[in-house]
Structure 1
Amino acid sequence: MPPRQHQQTSHNRSGPADLPDLNDAVQLLEAANTDVRPALHALTLDRVLLAGASGESTATWVGTGRYAQTTSLHDIAPAPRVLDRVKIGRGFTAYQHHALIREAVNRLDATSVVLVAPAIDAPYRESDLAHEDARDMLLRALAHL
């Protein structure tokens, strides 16, 4: 697995010029005292649009809980047809989320430019699974990515 890259964004900055560059590694995006969903949505659309202006690039989003909301994604999309290039899956339990991660990874193809899995630990921390079982499922989900 490639090394994890750490990106931090400040809540005092905004705009496309402030989006971090992404490479082919796993990225961790943290934002202090702010909702990271708009930044994640902007990064996702930025990646899709820059990678395939002719419409061939896609993104996959595996959300959970409050990260399954797509309002800001819709609000910042330059055109509704761009949203057709973002595949969204929502897992509300640890089992659903784990299955979606596996399925998303298995469906990646030449058009896939980014797979977004925000708050990946949330469904496992908040589940009614035994601590060890939840930890094992989270580690398996991370290994799939």
Structure 2
Amino acid sequence: MHTSRRPTADLPALEPGVTLVDVDDDLGVTPVQALLLDHVLGGDGWVYWVDGANRANTTRLRELAPADRVLDRIDVARGFTAHQHTSLLNRLAGRLDTRDQPSLVVATGLDGMYRGADIEGELATQMFIHAIASLARIARIHDVPVVVTRCREDEFSRPLRRAAGTHLQCRATPLGPRFEDAAGDMETLVYHTDDGWMQTTLAYWQEVLKHRARMYKAPTLERTAGVVGVQ
């Protein structure tokens, strides 16, 4: 008899320091959103998400969350130019006092704005390195994980790879998304799935996060009116 099995997962533990996550294109930003939400479910403190490549889809984040109240400790900001993006990171690094103690900082598409038409050459490189340094400073001073993604892997993004203490890759496999240590030292996660569950569907990731919420004994059944803070 052929039976279906819902996805279960152990998501990678996020350690203090800068973690670079490279995700297969067809998986999009959803694995990073799952890491973010899982971190909120399992801990206290604020999560700050600074986006540089139009990846901060707050509608999808809300759809993925097991309960709206999970979103109450997430602040989201978007940069639309390189100068705006740098300013956001500077403001974030400067405002994180004891009251705003972060538990996680996420910066998606960190290199995106510095590849744009508004800056070029040496200035773009300098601003990109400054952005990396701001995030590394947050990780060091507050001893928290900082998760970053990049738009593409090339010579320009190499400083980000050098700054990251951990490099994870999320690959699409026939059994679901697999997080791996890019150095090949360990395999951190395999999602198991069967009939009717595709690794890229919203329902798949919702089920994974519900499973994680039950593990944390987090509230999941009653949705409240909490909203994502967009700055």
TM-score normalised by the chain length of structure 1 = 0.79
Q: How far apart, CA to CA, are the structure 1 residues paired with 2:96 and 2:58?
A: 21
Equivalent residue, structure 2, for 1:116: 106
Select between 64-73 and 115-124 the one with higher mean Cα deviation.
64-73
Query: What is the CA RMSD across the aligned residues, in angstroms?
Result: 1.9
Q: How far apart, CA to CA, are the structure 2 residues paired with 1:96 and 1:16?
A: 39
Equivalent residue, structure 2, for 1:46: 38
| 1:103 and 2:91 are equivalent in the alignment | yes
* Partner of residue 94 from structure 1, selected from 69, 82, 87: 82
Q: How far apart, CA to CA, are the structure 1 residues paired with 2:28 and 2:94?
A: 26
Q: Please list the CA deviations of residues 93-125 of structure 1 after superposition, one character each: whole Å capped at 9, or x if unmatched.
A: 001100111112222345411110011000001
Structure 1 84/30 Cα, relative in aligned 2: closer, same or farther at 3 Å? same
**Which structure is higher in helix share?**
1
Q: How far apart, CA to CA, are the structure 2 residues paired with 1:18 and 1:126?
A: 37
Amino acid at match of 1:142: I
Amino acid at match of 1:23: E
Structure 2 regions of 5+ residues with no counterpart?
1-5, 136-231
Q: Please list the CA deviations of residues 11-53 of structure 1 after superposition, one character each: whole Å capped at 9, or x if unmatched.
A: xxx956252211001001112232341111111111122112x
- Give, in angstroms, the shift of residue 133 of structure 1: 0.6
Q: Please list the CA deviations of residues 41-79 of structure 1 after superposition, one character each: whole Å capped at 9, or x if unmatched.
A: 111111122112xxxx21000012321322221111121
Q: How far apart, CA to CA, are the structure 2 residues paired with 1:72 and 1:15?
A: 19
Q: How far apart, CA to CA, are the structure 1 residues paired with 2:52 and 2:21?
A: 16
Larger gyration radius, structure 1 or structure 2? 2
Q: Are the equivalent residues in 1 in contact too, given 2:80–2:113 (CA < 8 A)?
A: yes
* Partner of residue 49 from structure 2, selected from 46, 58, 61: 61
Equivalent residue, structure 1, for 2:63: 75
The DSSP-based 3-state class of the residue aligned with 2:80 is coil
The DSSP-based 3-state class of the residue aligned with 1:66 is coil
Structure 1 36/16 Cα, relative in aligned 2: closer, same or farther at 3 Å? farther
Equivalent residue, structure 2, for 1:4: none
Q: Are the equivalent residues in 1 in contact too, given 2:85–2:113 (CA < 8 A)?
A: yes
The structure with higher relative contact order (CA 8 Å, sep 6+) is 2
Q: How far apart, CA to CA, are the structure 1 residues paired with 2:33 and 2:7?
A: 12
